[in-house]
Amino acid sequence: MEEMLKYLGIKSVDELFEDLPPEIKTDGLNLHEPKEEMEVEMEIKKILSKNKSFFDMPFFLPVIKPHYIPPAVDEIVSRQEFYTSYTPYQAEASQGILQAMFEYQSIIAELTGMDAANVSMYDSATALGEAALMAYRIKKKRKILIPRNIFWHKKKVLENYAKGAGLQIIEVDYGEDGRMKLNHEEKDVAAIYIENPNFFGIIDDRYKEIAEMRERLDALLIAGIDPLSLAIYNPPSCYNADIVIGEGYFGNPLNFGGPLLGIFACKKEYIRQMPGKIVGATVDKEDKRAFCMTLQTREQHIRRGKATSNICSNQALCCIAFLAYVALLGRNGLRRVAKKNMDNAKYMANKLQKIGFSLPFHKKFFNEFVVIGNINGKELNSRLSNKGVYGGLPIDEYVENGILFGVTEMHSREIINFAVEKIKEAMEEKL
Amino acid sequence: MAKYDEPLLNEIEEKEEEEFLEDVERKELNIPNLTEREVIKHFIHLSQMNYGVDTGFYPLGSCTMKYNLKLLERVVKNEKIAYVHPLLPEDAIQGCLEIMHKLEKMLCEITGMDAFSLQPCAGAHGEFTGMLIARAYFEEIGEGDARKEVIVPDSAHGTNPASAKMAGFDVVEIPSKNGRVDMEALRHALSNETAAFMLTNPNTLGIFEKDILEIAREVRKVGALLYYDGANLNAIMGKTTPGKMGFDIVHLNLHKTFGTPHGGGGPGAGPVGVKKHLEKFLPVPRVVKRDGKYCLDYDRPHSIGKVSHFYGNFAVLLKAYAYIMLKGKKLEEAAERAVLNSNYLMEKLRSIGYEVPFYNRRMHEFVLSLANLKKKGIKALDVAKRLLDYGFHPPTIYFPLIVEEAFMIEPTEDESKETLDKFADAMKKMLQEDVEILKEAPHNMPVKRVNEAMAARNAILTWKDMEK
């Protein structure tokens, strides 16, 4: 350091801060003394030990759920070349991650039946917000139809994204079967958002009717999907979706709700209205295949206030994890896991029915489902609190005493049997 | 860097038998079945064709490419977060809430703000959140319709105007003067229609806005808010705070200042801090401590609501927490060394003959103009590509927009004098090289110069497109 100071002809680094007016200077930071690595690691472990994980207390919460992550995924995303690098603006030094991103886009396109995908939004909620804004840009209309049964966090985020452009969010009711009513009439609709499976876990196969509603209202169709269900169910291209969003949890841990990965895909005709980073294939000077970020004139660093979105940093590494997961499982593995999710959910639902719960919606579900019991979900969960298991999400806003359960390949028969036994015990408890 | 003709995943030969699942509705799914061995080889090859911070010097201006301490990766590999659900009851998530609560307090100390929300997932997301807070504030005091404008300097990051626009504001751009905010232009732009002035300080030229107190006074005079883009906080940690400078709203980039890795573009984290009078507008839920227990408080009637699905990028927040725990009050040394490295390298490059517009002492970064090289037919892009051959990641180029052929260098505090000297040597050698060598660069990368124009023209975005 001495040498560098000497080179600059100054005595101390303080001289480098002389542009700071004296009135604003602070006298250092009122923080702790620096700590050793070991100390920090042990302290953090101690704090986190206060959490209860799925392995301490199995839970059946929906929206995002615990899934098994193959060890090879960790190995891949732990490569420093991937996780320490920046957005690949310098294509020649970033061919590896660019090709991976291109493969991610290809996989998302395969799963969703769309033509193109970007390299992530922050999560499915912000992806929905961006999709609504994109539909507004394309259709120049201001209403966004959403199902009344939607996870409330997602709706809250959408409202914030809609505010600036003055979009109007309109909730469409669901019928007795728990599915969105498709006969809704409305003028000035930019987009219809439909979830499949929906918030109640129900698989929607009314392809013709959904596509027909899109035509009738002259709106874009935004489909909210679960990527795993698409391994065994038809993609949203079957009902003419224009934009597809979803939570890309493949290979990414729950991590207390973040980072997540917002999937965002669309038809080719709309790619120039897409938000976010996109990678394209091209060639180098010697005509060798190469990859680079493309269609950048949509983006904030070029278009500033006129960009399609303000997004810069995204969830790129989560895309690599997603891709690695799909590559490792392949088409066979994805189908196997998807089927296991569905089977386990069915098994759990049957078990719950045997102890007195009923299923209000008589429709096919994937790995989430709603039950009604003679006990309120909140009360049930509080009674379960000392029994080593936690239930689903109470959804009294929609269904009185309704509980939304989420089940995956990680909920073994043993875990489900144990949980159902404890739920039975809890229900029999006297207040 | 290694070179492979690495096939795309779908071009690798499939090895497994098809499992036909009779009761599966979807028959067509073009995703290859590969063995773990093939998959690992594929990704290891790809990784070897990618430059990371561990590979070498990465002086990308405005991005603060610090070395990412390995402890940060270790602490998140814990099933006590990996398998913890955000909707569990508070009793089951006390650990996560404690980390968040403590991190918020430390960020308040570092920035001089009164309250933080950790919910935004990236810097731009933080800006958007900040703009929504500004909007909610003016709606609350009955000036929602009047306050239509957000002012940004022409040197601002592109995200600033884009975020303001997304929150529904009209953007007014003001010119800079000698690399700083032009006070005349600012006064002229400010009015009772101004909602906020967004400013990066030190600015994107690496110059400290020393009129900051006057700027704050002028902004306050018209009743507007002052917004701090925290991209460059690394330069001033422990020396001053946005709070002391008079800012009302701040966003930070934990993936820059607090050493969390950039992940090839993300995930980052963009917490937003505010002064007391704006606290009630922060997103829900807030993490609060009641009777020794941490809680998620949703009962905030003035809150702007939610900006992301749950509580932000928790794993990134935890890494930043570990970083601050390690450094403590010595975070100040990061600022000192980053500023010293930057000034040292700037002087070295200037002595070689590179032009530094608005020549001045700099903070943590500086911007060269390579406009002089244009006479020889060399562009900033050529110099950047040639640097790759020398084993360096190039700086940010063509930003900020107010510098012609901009070459924006941020060395960070982690680089040694030796590295800086080697970089300067490479920059010197390039001035003497044959023009063609630069224009044809890079020569030693896995591919030669990539044709970006063709990519935009053809828009081949998936392997399906490629087959066509």
What are the structural domain ranges in chain A?
71-325
Which phi and psi angles does A337 have, rounded to 5°? -65, -40
Shortest CA distance from A78: residue in chain B: B73
CA distance B117 to A146: 28
Question: What average pLDDT score do residues A12-26 get?
Answer: 96
> Who's near A46: CB < 8 A, 6+ residues apart?
none
Which phi and psi angles does A310 have, rounded to 5°? -90, -5
Phi-psi region at A388: left, alpha or beta (left = phi > 0; alpha = psi -120 to 50): left
Q: Which domain holds residue B299?
A: 72-330
Residue pair A403/A395 in contact (Cβ under 8 Å)? The answer is yes
Q: Tell me the percentage of chain B whose pLDDT exceeds 90.
A: 96
Chain B contact present for A52, CB below 8 A:
yes
Provide the pLDDT for residue B336: 98
On chain B, the residues whose CB falls within 8 A of the CB of A326 are: 31
Helix (H, G, I), strand (E, B) or coil at B287: strand
Chain B contact present for A130, CB below 8 A:
no
Confidence of residue A302 (pLDDT cuts 50, 70, 90): confident
Question: What average pLDDT score do residues B186-190 get?
Answer: 98
Length of chain B: 468
If contacts are CB pairs under 8 Å, which of residues 189-248 in chain A contact chain B?
Answer: 230-235, 247
CA distance B318 to B261: 12
Shortest CA distance from B265: residue in chain A: A87
- CA distance, residue B283 to nearest chain A CA (Å): 10
Confidence of residue B374 (pLDDT cuts 50, 70, 90): very high
Question: What average pLDDT score do residues A12-20 get?
Answer: 96
Residue pair A245/A193 in contact (Cβ under 8 Å)? The answer is no
Confidence of residue B158 (pLDDT cuts 50, 70, 90): very high
Shared domain check, B434 and B307: no
Q: Does residue B448 have a pLDDT over 80?
A: yes
| Candidates B63, B304, B313; nearest CB to A160 | B304
For chain B, the helix, strand and coil percentages under 3-state DSSP, each to the nearest 5: 40, 15, 45
Question: What average pLDDT score do residues A235-246 get?
Answer: 98
Burial letters A88-109, b for 16+ CB under 10 A, else e: bbbbbbbbbbbbbbbbbbbbbb
* Strand duo A262-266 + A116-117: pairing: antiparallel
Asked whether the beta carbons of residue B40 and residue A76 sit closer than 8 angstroms, the reply is yes
CA-based end-to-end distance of chain B: 31
The mean predicted confidence, pLDDT, of chain A is: 97
Tens digit of pLDDT for each residue in B281-299?
Answer: 999 999 999 999 999 999 9
Shared domain check, B186 and B304: yes
Shortest CA distance from A76: residue in chain B: B43
| Candidates A86, A161, A330; nearest CB to B32 | A330
Asked whether the beta carbons of residue A160 and residue B307 sit closer than 8 angstroms, the reply is yes
- Residue showing tokens 């883009």: B229
Question: What average pLDDT score do residues B269-278 get?
Answer: 98
> Who's near A147: CB < 8 A, 6+ residues apart?
A171, A172, A174, A180, A193, A194, A195, A198, A199
On chain A, the residues whose CB falls within 8 A of the CB of B98 are: 47, 50
Shortest CA distance from A118: residue in chain B: B461
Question: What average pLDDT score do residues A5-11 get?
Answer: 97
| Candidates A72, A93, A256; nearest CB to B445 | A93
Shared domain check, B131 and B175: yes
Whether omega for the bond prior to residue A259 falls within 30 degrees of 0, making it cis, is yes
Q: Does residue A207 have a pLDDT over 80?
A: yes
Tens digit of pLDDT for each residue in B230-271?
Answer: 999 999 999 999 999 999 999 999 999 999 999 999 999 999
Q: Does residue B198 have a pLDDT over 80?
A: yes
Shortest CA distance from B46: residue in chain A: A96
Asked whether the beta carbons of residue A16 and residue B330 sit closer than 8 angstroms, the reply is no
Confidence of residue B279 (pLDDT cuts 50, 70, 90): very high
Question: What average pLDDT score do residues A37-52 get?
Answer: 98
If contacts are CB pairs under 8 Å, which of residues 3-32 in chain A contact chain B?
Answer: 3-5, 7-8, 13, 16-21, 23-26, 28-32
- DSSP for B329-387 reads GGHHHHHHHHHHHHHHHHHHHHHHT-B-TT-S--SS-EEEE-GGGGGGT--HHHHHHHH
Q: Does residue A388 have a pLDDT over 80?
A: yes
| Candidates A49, A235, A254; nearest CB to B82 | A254
Shortest CA distance from B12: residue in chain A: A327
Provide the pLDDT for residue B100: 98
Q: A interface mutation test: which of B5, B18, B51, B260 has the most A CBs within 10 A?
A: B51
Question: What average pLDDT score do residues A303-319 get?
Answer: 94
Helix (H, G, I), strand (E, B) or coil at B173: strand
Provide the pLDDT for residue B16: 65
Q: In whole angstroms, how far apart are CA A34 and each of A38, A84, B259?
A: 12, 24, 15
Last residue of a domain, one of B330, B358, B380: B330
On chain B, the residues whose CB falls within 8 A of the CB of A256 are: 81, 84-86, 93, 96, 310-311, 314-315
On chain B, the residues whose CB falls within 8 A of the CB of A100 are: 43, 46
Shared domain check, B267 and B152: yes
Tens digit of pLDDT for each residue in B17-30?
Answer: 777 677 788 988 99
Shared domain check, B137 and B284: yes
Tens digit of pLDDT for each residue in B39-82?
Answer: 999 999 999 999 999 999 999 999 999 999 999 999 999 999 99
Q: How many CB atoms lie within 10 A of CB B231?
A: 24
Confidence of residue A341 (pLDDT cuts 50, 70, 90): very high
Question: What average pLDDT score do residues B427-433 get?
Answer: 96
On chain A, the residues whose CB falls within 8 A of the CB of B265 are: 86-88, 119, 277, 313-314, 316-317
Chain B contact present for A72, CB below 8 A:
yes
In a domain, residue B56? The reply is no
On chain A, the residues whose CB falls within 8 A of the CB of B450 are: 91-92, 282-284, 290-292
Q: Does residue B468 have a pLDDT over 90?
A: no
In a domain, residue B411? The reply is yes
Shortest CA distance from A23: residue in chain B: B244
Provide the pLDDT for residue B17: 73
Q: Does residue B119 have a pLDDT over 80?
A: yes
In a domain, residue B355? The reply is yes
Provide the pLDDT for residue B255: 97
On chain A, the residues whose CB falls within 8 A of the CB of B153 are: none
> Who's near A165: CB < 8 A, 6+ residues apart?
A133, A136, A142, B168
Q: Tell me the percentage of chain A whose pLDDT exceeds 70.
A: 100
- CA distance, residue B142 to nearest chain A CA (Å): 17
Asked whether the beta carbons of residue A317 and residue B263 sit closer than 8 angstroms, the reply is yes
Provide the CATH number for the domain around residue B424: 3.90.1150.10
Shared domain check, B340 and B323: no
User: Which helix (H) or strand (E) is B250 found in, with range?
Assistant: strand B249-252
- DSSP for B74-126 reads HHH--HHHHT--TTS-GGGBHHHHHHHHHHHHHHHHHHT-SEEE----SHHHH
Provide the pLDDT for residue A244: 98
Provide the pLDDT for residue B221: 98
Provide the pLDDT for residue A155: 98
Helix (H, G, I), strand (E, B) or coil at A250: coil
| Candidates A45, A70, A110; nearest CB to B31 | A110
- DSSP for A27-94 reads -S---PPP--HHHHHHHHHHHHTTB--TTTS-B---SS------HHHHHHHT-HHHHS-----SGGG-
Q: Give the bridge partners for B170, in sequence order.
A: B149
Instruction: Count residue pairs from A and B with Cβ separation < 8 A.
Output: 617
On chain A, the residues whose CB falls within 8 A of the CB of B327 are: 34
In a domain, residue B4? The reply is no
Shortest CA distance from B173: residue in chain A: A305
Provide the CATH number for the domain around residue B148: 3.40.640.10
- Of A315, A47, A28, A26, the residue nearest B101 (C-alpha): A47
Residue pair B125/B270 in contact (Cβ under 8 Å)? The answer is yes
Shared domain check, B399 and B431: yes
On chain B, the residues whose CB falls within 8 A of the CB of A154 are: 309
On chain A, the residues whose CB falls within 8 A of the CB of B44 are: 79
- CA distance, residue B180 to nearest chain A CA (Å): 12
On chain A, the residues whose CB falls within 8 A of the CB of B382 are: none
| Candidates B21, B385, B461; nearest CB to A278 | B461
Q: Give the bridge partners for B152, in sequence order.
A: B173
Asked whether the beta carbons of residue B84 and residue A305 sit closer than 8 angstroms, the reply is no
Q: Give the bridge partners for A390, in sequence order.
A: A59
In a domain, residue B339? The reply is yes
Task: Write out the two tokens for A238.
Answer: 């079957």
Provide the pLDDT for residue B20: 67
On chain B, the residues whose CB falls within 8 A of the CB of A117 are: 461-462
In a domain, residue B450? The reply is yes
Q: Does residue A431 have a pLDDT over 70?
A: no
- DSSP for A301-343 reads HHHGGGSS----S--HHHHHHHHHHHHHHHHHHHHHHHHHHHH
C-alpha A413 chain-centroid distance:
27
Asked whether the beta carbons of residue B449 and residue A284 sit closer than 8 angstroms, the reply is yes
Q: Does residue A404 have a pLDDT over 70?
A: yes
In a domain, residue B63? The reply is no
Question: Cα angle vertex B250, ends B248, B256, to 5°?
Answer: 165
Asked whether the beta carbons of residue A95 and residue B447 sit closer than 8 angstroms, the reply is yes
Shared domain check, B194 and B151: yes
Output the CATH code of domain A71-325.
3.40.640.10
Domain total for chain B? 3
Residue pair B174/B151 in contact (Cβ under 8 Å)? The answer is yes
Task: Write out the two tokens for B187.
Answer: 């006064």
Provide the pLDDT for residue A385: 87
Shared domain check, B155 and B270: yes
Shared domain check, B337 and B295: no
DSSP state at residue B310: S
Task: Write out the two tokens for B444.
Answer: 């030693």
Q: Does residue A377 have a pLDDT over 90?
A: yes
- CA distance, residue B399 to nearest chain A CA (Å): 9
Phi-psi region at A78: left, alpha or beta (left = phi > 0; alpha = psi -120 to 50): alpha
On chain B, the residues whose CB falls within 8 A of the CB of A8 are: 340, 343-344, 347
Shortest CA distance from A67: residue in chain B: B83
In a domain, residue B54? The reply is no
Question: What average pLDDT score do residues A58-72 get?
Answer: 98
Shared domain check, B374 and B263: no
C-alpha A135 chain-centroid distance:
20
Provide the pLDDT for residue B359: 87
Question: What average pLDDT score do residues B154-174 get?
Answer: 97
Shared domain check, B270 and B167: yes
Task: Write out the two tokens for B449.
Answer: 């110069």
Last residue of a domain, one of B288, B307, B330: B330
The alpha carbon dihedral of A119, A124, A127, A132 has a sign of positive
Asked whether the beta carbons of residue A294 and residue B455 sit closer than 8 angstroms, the reply is yes
Asked whether the beta carbons of residue A305 and residue B213 sit closer than 8 angstroms, the reply is no
Chain B contact present for A306, CB below 8 A:
yes
Provide the pLDDT for residue B23: 76
Quote the ipTM score. Answer: 0.98
> Who's near A430: CB < 8 A, 6+ residues apart?
none
